[in-house]
Amino acid sequence: MSNRTFTIIKPDSVRKGNFGKIIGRLEEQGFQVLGIKKVSLTQKQAEAFYGVHRERPFFKSLVEYMTSGPVYVAALERESAVPTLRQVMGATDPAKADAGTIRKEFGESIEQNAIHGSDSDENAKIEINFFFAESELL
């Protein structure tokens, strides 16, 4: 499973027409898209997906943001997929992200930061399974 990770092209990116540019970046970095779908997260889905942050002060706002418009969810494949995606995304706060990263270029704020990426192989598996059946990954 270490060659797979999971991403969400977040609502701000979709609204601004940055979906194709961000997917292009990922392809340039050697990621293959195993499965992708456009979805509107329900409040329950967003709360469950970000359940680890339930007690954080930004949780309610995060759920509102993630349900504010459609997103693309995708399963990605590449060698060292999880750490490579985290590098290509950049730091959570776009203002602190390295030059050339997706969040630096496309993120608005520490909340509206363009893209999600799994933080471990274990969570990548959980997050892929949240949205995809194995038969949908090609």
Binding site for ligand IDP (CB under 6 A): 53, 58, 62, 92, 110-111, 113, 116, 119
77 binds, among Mg ion, ligand IDP, none (CB under 5 to 8 A by kind): none
Instruction: Find the binding residues for Mg ion in span 37-76 (CB under 5 A).
Output: none
- Nearest Cα neighbor of 107 from 121, 123, 90 is 90
Smallest separation (angstroms) from ligand IDP to the CB of 123:
9
Contact characters 109-128, Mg ion, x per CB under 5 A: ----------x---------
- Taking the C-alpha atoms of residue 70 and residue 13, their distance in angstroms, rounded to an integer, is 10
φ and ψ at residue 86, rounded to 5 degrees: -60, -40
Q: Which residues of 86-108 are buried (b: 16+ CB within 10 A; e: fewer)?
A: bebbbbeebeebeeebbbbbbbe
Active-site annotation holder among 81, 115, 116, 117 = 116
Encoded tokens for 1: 């499973």
Active site residue 53: no
Binding residues for Mg ion, rule: CB under 5 A, are 119
**Residues annotated catalytic, as ranges:** 116
